[in-house]
Amino acid sequence: MESSIFEKSKSVFLDVVDPKDYVQLDRVSFIYQSLKKSVRKPLKMILLYGKPGTGKSMFLAKLHDDLSKIQPVFLYQQPIIDKSEFFKTLAKDIYNIKYNGELNFTQFSKIIEMHHKEENDIPIVLLDEAQLYSSDLMENIRLISDTRKIKFVITLHKTSQEDVIAKEHFQTRIWETIELQNASMTELKIYIQKKLMKSNCFDIANMFTNKNISLIFSLTEGNYRETNKLLYTLFEIYQWYEKNEPSKIKYSSITNKYIEMAAIHTGIING
């Protein structure tokens, strides 16, 4: 095996959101198809909901990538907390209008009114990390949705402290809620192997046995971000052995002891 293979496998599990790295998983694909259908319904606002690391940002990036081929779509991965900034950014991106000074909701509504053309596909705005937007701004977003002139898809973090969905502005019927969850054990195996194979790391992908997957699953509960962290560190450990004690490396399967070492290193379990 060439020496860069662990290095390459490591980089597969960098925690980045790039739609080119999107892997098809049955449950995720099913949700994704229904999401694409909902996007075509005029009134619905869509809320993607789930714990950190369940793939919300990846989903949104993928949606952006796919939809941009057929209609105007705008993705905001970093929330724009300031209301005036928010409206100004949308005015510039959607309608190509540069506005100096403050822009309030009423003024922005007029801009929408003036530039909306019936024959066009309505613009879709994708907002990541929407739990960071104020209730006030969320209420404005809802009112804009009601006009059916801009469509919103938002993601929300599910936290144990607070039920964000219980907030008033999410209680109206116009929201279609889609919950993302951690991977099942089967999905986790597919996730790991497909990710590696996409980067041509076939030999490494084949080293993951059901015993390995079972251990990884028990450590990460199938959370994609936790799994990325764990595997990144695992391949860092392999790199170390490759450099310092290459005879210790077994190429038939991943050594569970190394997975445990990686878990200690990343703080998933205590050493």
Ligand X SMILES: Nc1ncnc2c1ncn2[C@@H]1O[C@H](COP(=O)(O)OP(=O)(O)O)[C@@H](O)[C@H]1O
Return the residue of 5, 45, 46, 54 that touches ligand X, per CB under 6 A. 54
Residue 97 vs 165, nearer CB to ligand X: 165
- Contact characters 38-67, Mg ion, x per CB under 5 A: ------------------xx----------
Return the residue of 224, 232, 235, 238 that touches ligand X, per CB under 6 A. 224
Q: At closest approach, how far in Å is the CB of 108 from ligand X?
A: 27
Q: Is 52 in the site for ligand X (CB under 6 A)?
A: yes
Coil, helix or strand for 125? strand
Position 174, amino acid: I
Q: Is 56 in the site for ligand X (CB under 6 A)?
A: yes
Instruction: Report the C-alpha gap between 50 and 160 in whole angstroms.
Output: 11
Residue 50: which H helix or E strand, with range?
strand 45-50
Q: Is 203 in the site for ligand X (CB under 6 A)?
A: no
- Contact characters 12-51, ligand X, x per CB under 6 A: ---xxx---xxx-x--x---------------------x-
Residue 3 vs 177, nearer CB to Mg ion: 177
Using alpha carbons, list the distances in angstroms from residue 172 to 42, 45, 146, 249. Answer: 16, 10, 11, 57
Residue 156: name the closest of 75, 44, 49 by CA: 49
Return the residue of 6, 55, 127, 133 that touches ligand X, per CB under 6 A. 55
Using alpha carbons, list the distances in angstroms from residue 5 to 20, 21, 97, 151, 199. Answer: 21, 18, 49, 44, 10
Q: At closest approach, how far in Å is the CB of 71 from Mg ion?
A: 23
Q: Is 223 in the site for Mg ion (CB under 5 A)?
A: no
Residue nearest to Mg ion (CB): 57
**105 Cβ contact list (under 8 Å, min separation 6):** 83, 87, 140, 143
Q: Is 228 in the site for ligand X (CB under 6 A)?
A: yes
Strands (E), 77-218: 124-127, 151-157, 175-179
CB of 169 within 8 A of CB of 130? no
- Kindly list the residues in this chain that would bind ligand X in the complex (CB under 6 A): 15-17, 21-23, 25, 28, 50, 52-58, 224-225, 228
- Kindly list the residues in this chain that would bind Mg ion in the complex (CB under 5 A): 56-57
